[in-house]
């Protein structure tokens, strides 16, 4: 089977020798350097003191809960990692060795994704207590350094493993690397999506459940040790915000590399297969600088200033080094590129300038998103202040103003990302292949900052946990407590920024993957049988033109999947939180000593409930993501499938930013009131903003961030099945069979999850209620 990508040029013949090969080896070496740096950071963090015995006990409980969750999750997901490689092997590929490579690298991608999440979290649950101890004993600078370097390990693993995997694939498979990389990216994205959804449900079920019983019903503070859900809440921060986010950004990194290498080969030939590795390699080096440059200085307004300094220093150095690399490595004309088609060689512009321009667009986009997200979610800016004011008229107006802020901010983010895509498109000067590569390079530009971004992000849950441990143990007071509160606030902002960057990479990667989708479909169309051509009718030459009603229907379904996925994730949190509420209430009832402080609650049971429920709940959204593109492709055809992806990208971008920013704004509106505005803690305004924050929890930490891997999983599934969709266009029986199975499984999953009731209220104990409700007249 010699199928894909061979339309343009003979892949096996792509020369990757001499200097090109040397560079790939250097890239791999830099990737290993990143892992070595991570090792050094682990030693540094672990060497820090761990505080009092009580703090260590609490930390150990969190460690055990987190490890138990991840172990069970990996065991659950193992079935996919075993099953899917076989299915992948059945799909068309250039050769048997490529087919095997794709399956093998699917597993490697999934394992790397899991590993990034696992290592990041492993250190985070150890770093948290050390940050708390440092705040208690050594002051803000040391505490902040430990928190940021704990994050640095996740950052280094993300970029190190991503770059290593891609370099190895290019080294082994050369011209066939793109096909194998699809497997690598798919494995990474699929695992990340499951970790995102599962972790997101866990963390918010525990958080919402703990708040509803603790803060609302019993009137005890957050992180009070009498609340049986507190340990689960802290575990959740780690499995969701930390492991989930690290896996997610690893996936973004891997998929972006996949997209740029696929397109690089078509647009820039051999150089296009190497340059997209050079850019992130530079990013690794500058991330190391950035992580070590992030140290608070006297005169900084707050911790954010130090983090921003690290980010912008590394971004600026990246820009300079990328320009140097482009001039050193790329030729001055398209004709000078190795192994390109005649059409590309005839382009009359300078590939070096295109490459530099595209990478710069990515870096500017990263900075712009940082500023925009800050505007919409920081406490001292107008949107959050407005939401804070609306708390004076009650929770309904808090919800409405937060939703309005979220909807609007989504538009500005979408316009920024759209502007970056359009800017990169213009760099193609009318050649769509080059334009798509420019989009992909903008993505790699964005990703040069990923090492620092992941460090920034992991900083969030580590500080959050440190504060939790401090509060539960009661051993950190005065200055130490103040330090931890300030670190926690910085963590909230970094988390919001990371989400913005993550969704931007998703759009750039997905746009770029469209190019591969087109190549795959066009190759099959060119080689299609007469029967297939007849079955395709006017679509026998490539078109995703949305004026055709069937294509528009595909687009609507793509947008709809984003809505359904979000709705399912939000109601899954509701269901799981309901069971946490019930359990905590039950413990308060059966163990009266808990409230008095004479008896310890059973923390483990809540962790168990969250673990079991989140793993059960992740199946439906997961199946939806994988099977819907298959159903659309086989039932409606390749053109509706392509439009489906476009619909999912457009709607997904907006929905992801809307959910993330509404949630972030509500969170900080609550902090604003807690800082003493509009009546301060305990006032009706505070209660109104707590309600806003609770609504925002599953928005910003479950549904919103999971849309990022969702988009990429769907894109990669579509890309992988595209040849089969075209080839079997005239095989009605097969098409109907695949569609029926795919739709049937999704519908069954949705129905089963509905059976578990949409309500947040406990499943038992409301039977009389149910009967009563039945009697209500229509």
Site for its own copies in 320-359 (CB under 8 A): none
Instruction: Decide if 370 contacts 502 (C-beta within 8 A).
Output: no
Kindly tell me the burial class for residue 138, based on how many C-beta atoms sit within 10 Å of its own C-beta (0-12, 13-18, 19 or more): middle
Smallest distance, Å, CB 390 to its own copies? 5
Choose which of 338, 548, 727, 731 interacts with its own copies (CB under 8 A).
Answer: 548
The reply on whether position 100 binds its own copies by CB under 8 A is no
339: left (phi > 0), else alpha (psi -120 to 50), else beta? left
The reply on whether position 581 binds its own copies by CB under 8 A is yes
Smallest distance, Å, CB 638 to its own copies? 11
Interface stretch with its own copies, choices 48-56, 128-136, 338-346, 561-569 (CB under 8 A) = 561-569
The reply on whether position 407 binds its own copies by CB under 8 A is yes
The residues in 116-155 that bind its own copies, with binding defined as CB under 8 A, are none
Q: Which is nearer to its own copies, 411 or 526 (CB)?
A: 411
Q: How far apart are CA 496 and CA 489, in angstroms?
A: 11
Instruction: Decide if 720 contacts 186 (C-beta within 8 A).
Output: yes
φ, ψ at 228 (rounded to 5°): -65, -15
Smallest distance, Å, CB 695 to its own copies? 5
Interface stretch with its own copies, choices 13-21, 43-51, 405-413, 705-713 (CB under 8 A) = 405-413
Choose which of 376, 542, 588, 634 interacts with its own copies (CB under 8 A).
Answer: 542
Q: How far apart are CA 192 and CA 252, in angstroms?
A: 9
DSSP E strand boundaries for 58-171 = none
What string of DSSP letters covers 599-665? S---HHHHHHHHHHHHHHHTHHHHHHHHHHHHHHHHHH-HHHHHHHHHHHHHHHHHHHHHHHHHHHH
Smallest distance, Å, CB 29 to its own copies? 34
Q: Which is nearer to its own copies, 322 or 544 (CB)?
A: 544
Choose which of 677, 686, 700, 735 interacts with its own copies (CB under 8 A).
Answer: 677
Choose which of 194, 517, 523, 588 interacts with its own copies (CB under 8 A).
Answer: 517
The residues in 369-398 that bind its own copies, with binding defined as CB under 8 A, are 378-380, 382-383, 385-390, 392-397
Smallest distance, Å, CB 759 to its own copies? 4
Smallest distance, Å, CB 537 to its own copies? 5
Smallest distance, Å, CB 216 to its own copies? 6
Choose which of 238, 587, 653, 715 interacts with its own copies (CB under 8 A).
Answer: 653
Smallest distance, Å, CB 675 to its own copies? 6
* Closest C-alpha to 250, from 37, 82, 451, 456: 451
Smallest distance, Å, CB 359 to its own copies? 17
* Closest C-alpha to 283, from 453, 146, 456: 453
Instruction: Decide if 147 contacts 487 (C-beta within 8 A).
Output: yes
Residue 137, both tokens: 């004993």
Q: How far apart are CA 573 and CA 82, in angstroms?
A: 28
Smallest distance, Å, CB 647 to its own copies? 5
Q: What CA dihedral angle connects 489, 491, 494 and 495, to 10 degrees?
A: -110
Q: How many residues bind its own copies (CB under 8 A)?
A: 120
Smallest distance, Å, CB 64 to its own copies? 29
Smallest distance, Å, CB 125 to its own copies? 28
Q: Which is nearer to its own copies, 125 or 570 (CB)?
A: 570
The reply on whether position 247 binds its own copies by CB under 8 A is no
Interface stretch with its own copies, choices 49-57, 257-265, 444-452, 757-765 (CB under 8 A) = 757-765
DSSP state of 761: S
The reply on whether position 683 binds its own copies by CB under 8 A is no
Choose which of 567, 597, 682, 732 interacts with its own copies (CB under 8 A).
Answer: 567
Q: Which is nearer to its own copies, 150 or 494 (CB)?
A: 494
Q: Which is nearer to its own copies, 182 or 339 (CB)?
A: 182
The residues in 60-99 that bind its own copies, with binding defined as CB under 8 A, are none
For the chain, how big is the Rg over CA atoms in Å? 26
Q: Which is nearer to its own copies, 285 or 581 (CB)?
A: 581
Residue 170's alpha-carbon distances to 115, 164, 176, 309, in angstroms, are 22, 10, 8, 34
The reply on whether position 761 binds its own copies by CB under 8 A is yes
Q: Is 720 helix (H, G, I), strand (E, B) or coil?
A: helix
Smallest distance, Å, CB 670 to its own copies? 12
Residue 664, both tokens: 């972030």
Choose which of 410, 630, 706, 718 interacts with its own copies (CB under 8 A).
Answer: 410
Q: Which is nearer to its own copies, 192 or 572 (CB)?
A: 572
The reply on whether position 767 binds its own copies by CB under 8 A is no
HSE at residue 8, side-chain half, CA atoms within 13 A, is 28
Choose which of 74, 202, 514, 588 interacts with its own copies (CB under 8 A).
Answer: 514
The reply on whether position 404 binds its own copies by CB under 8 A is yes
Q: How far apart are CA 253 and CA 198, in angstroms?
A: 21
The reply on whether position 637 binds its own copies by CB under 8 A is no
The reply on whether position 743 binds its own copies by CB under 8 A is no
Kindly tell me the burial class for residue 301, based on how many C-beta atoms sit within 10 Å of its own C-beta (0-12, 13-18, 19 or more): exposed
Smallest distance, Å, CB 710 to its own copies? 14
The reply on whether position 679 binds its own copies by CB under 8 A is no
The residues in 481-510 that bind its own copies, with binding defined as CB under 8 A, are 507
Choose which of 47, 328, 478, 538 interacts with its own copies (CB under 8 A).
Answer: 538
The residues in 195-224 that bind its own copies, with binding defined as CB under 8 A, are 208, 212, 216
The reply on whether position 555 binds its own copies by CB under 8 A is yes
For tokens 């040397």, name the residue.
22
The reply on whether position 777 binds its own copies by CB under 8 A is yes
Q: How far apart are CA 181 and CA 373, in angstroms?
A: 32
Residue 319, both tokens: 């820009």
Q: Which is nearer to its own copies, 26 or 392 (CB)?
A: 392
Q: How far apart are CA 762 and CA 583, in angstroms?
A: 9
Residue 266, both tokens: 């078509």
Interface stretch with its own copies, choices 37-45, 53-61, 151-159, 649-657 (CB under 8 A) = 649-657
Buried b (16+ CB within 10 A) or exposed e, 738-754: bbeebbebbeebbeebe
* Helix-helix angle 303-329:450-473, to 10 degrees: 160
The residues in 617-636 that bind its own copies, with binding defined as CB under 8 A, are 636
Q: How far apart are CA 285 and CA 306, in angstroms?
A: 19
Q: How far apart are CA 180 and CA 767, in angstroms?
A: 54
What string of DSSP letters covers 80-103? HHHHHHHHHHHS--SSHHHHHHHH
- H helices of 174-213, where? 177-211
Q: How far apart are CA 653 and CA 646, in angstroms?
A: 11
The reply on whether position 56 binds its own copies by CB under 8 A is no
φ, ψ at 542 (rounded to 5°): -55, 130
Smallest distance, Å, CB 708 to its own copies? 15
Choose which of 200, 290, 578, 723 interacts with its own copies (CB under 8 A).
Answer: 578
The residues in 284-323 that bind its own copies, with binding defined as CB under 8 A, are 301-302, 304
The residues in 412-441 that bind its own copies, with binding defined as CB under 8 A, are 414-415, 417-419, 421-422, 424-425, 430, 432, 435-436, 439
Instruction: Decide if 610 contacts 576 (C-beta within 8 A).
Output: yes
The reply on whether position 115 binds its own copies by CB under 8 A is no
């Amino acid at each position: 089977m010699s199928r894909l990508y061979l339309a343009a040029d003979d892949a096996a013949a792509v020369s990757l020798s001499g200097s090109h090969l040397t560079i790939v080896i250097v890239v791999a070496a830099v990737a290993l350097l990143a892992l070595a740096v991570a090792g050094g950071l682990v030693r540094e963090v672990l060497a820090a003191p761990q505080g009092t015995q009580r703090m260590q006990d609490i930390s150990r409980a969190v460690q055990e809960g987190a490890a138990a969750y991840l172990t069970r999750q990996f065991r659950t997901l193992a079935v996919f990692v075993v099953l899917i490689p076989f299915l992948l092997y059945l799909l068309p590929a250039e050769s048997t060795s490529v087919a095997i490579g794709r399956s093998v690298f699917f597993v490697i991608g999934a394992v790397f994704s899991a590993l990034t999440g696992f290592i990041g979290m492993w250190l985070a649950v150890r770093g948290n207590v050390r940050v708390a101890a440092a705040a208690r004993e050594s002051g803000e600078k040391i505490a902040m350094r430990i928190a940021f370097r704990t994050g640095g390990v996740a950052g280094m693993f993300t970029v190190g493993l991503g770059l290593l995997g891609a370099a190895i694939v290019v080294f082994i498979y050369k011209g066939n690397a793109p096909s194998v990389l699809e497997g690598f990216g798919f494995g990474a994205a699929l695992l990340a999506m499951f970790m995102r959804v599962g972790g997101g449900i866990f963390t918010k079920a525990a958080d919402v459940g703990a708040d509803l019983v603790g803060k609302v019903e019993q009137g005890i503070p957050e992180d009070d040790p009498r609340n049986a859900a507190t340990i689960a809440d802290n575990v959740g921060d780690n499995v969701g915000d930390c492991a989930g986010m690290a896996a997610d950004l690893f996936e973004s990194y891997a998929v972006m590399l996949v997209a740029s290498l696929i397109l690089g080969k078509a647009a820039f030939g051999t150089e296009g297969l190497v340059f997209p590795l050079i850019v992130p390699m530079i990013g690794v080096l500058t991330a190391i600088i950035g992580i070590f440059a992030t140290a608070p200085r006297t005169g900084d307004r707050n911790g954010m200033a130090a983090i921003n300094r690290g980010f912008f220093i590394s971004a600026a150095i990246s820009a300079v080094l990328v320009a140097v690399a482009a001039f050193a490595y790329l030729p001055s004309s398209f004709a000078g590129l190795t192994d390109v088609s005649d059409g590309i060689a005839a382009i009359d512009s300078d590939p070096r300038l295109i490459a530099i321009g595209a990478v710069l667009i990515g870096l500017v986009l990263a900075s712009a998103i940082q500023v925009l997200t800050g505007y919409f979610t920081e406490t001292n800016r107008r949107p959050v202040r407005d939401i804070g004011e609306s708390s004076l008229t009650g929770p309904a107006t808090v919800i409405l103003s937060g939703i309005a802020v979220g909807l609007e901010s989504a538009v500005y983010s979408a316009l920024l990302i759209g502007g970056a895509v359009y800017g990169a498109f213009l760099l193609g000067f009318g050649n769509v292949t080059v334009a798509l590569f420019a989009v992909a390079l903008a993505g790699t530009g964005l990703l040069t900052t990923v090492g620092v971004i992941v460090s920034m992000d992991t900083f969030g849950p580590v500080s959050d946990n440190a504060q939790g441990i401090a509060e539960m143990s009661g051993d950190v007071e005065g200055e130490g407590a103040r330090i931890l509160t300030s670190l926690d606030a910085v963590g909230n902002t970094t988390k919001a920024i990371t989400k913005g960057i993550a969704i931007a990479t998703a759009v750039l990667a997905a746009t770029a993957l469209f190019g591969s989708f087109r190549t795959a479909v066009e190759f099959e169309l060119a080689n299609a049988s007469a029967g297939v051509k007849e079955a395709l009718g006017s679509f026998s030459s490539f078109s995703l033109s949305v004026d055709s009603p069937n294509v528009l229907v595909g687009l609507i379904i793509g947008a709809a999947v984003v809505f359904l996925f979000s709705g399912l994730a939000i109601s899954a949190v509701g269901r799981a939180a309901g069971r946490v509420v019930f359990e905590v209430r039950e413990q308060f009832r059966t163990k009266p000593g808990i409230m008095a402080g004479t008896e310890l609650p059973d923390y483990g049971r809540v962790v168990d409930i969250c673990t079991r429920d989140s793993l059960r709940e992740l199946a439906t959204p997961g199946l939806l993501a994988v099977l819907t593109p298959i159903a659309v492709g086989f039932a409606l055809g390749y053109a509706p499938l392509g439009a489906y992806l476009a619909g999912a990208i457009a709607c997904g971008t907006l929905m992801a930013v809307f959910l993330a920013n509404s949630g972030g704004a509500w969170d900080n509106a609550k902090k604003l009131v807690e800082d003493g505005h509009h009546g301060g803690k305990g006032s009706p305004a505070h209660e109104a903003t707590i309600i806003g924050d609770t609504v925002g929890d599953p928005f910003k930490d479950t549904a919103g961030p999971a849309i990022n891997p969702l988009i990429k999983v769907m894109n990669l599934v579509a890309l992988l099945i595209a040849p089969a969709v075209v080839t079997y266009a005239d095989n009605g029986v097969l098409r109907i069979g695949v569609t029926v199975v795919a739709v049937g499984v999704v519908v069954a999953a949705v129905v089963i999850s509905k059976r578990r009731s949409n309500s947040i209220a406990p499943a038992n104990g409301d039977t009389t209620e149910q009967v009563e409700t039945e009697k209500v007249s229509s």
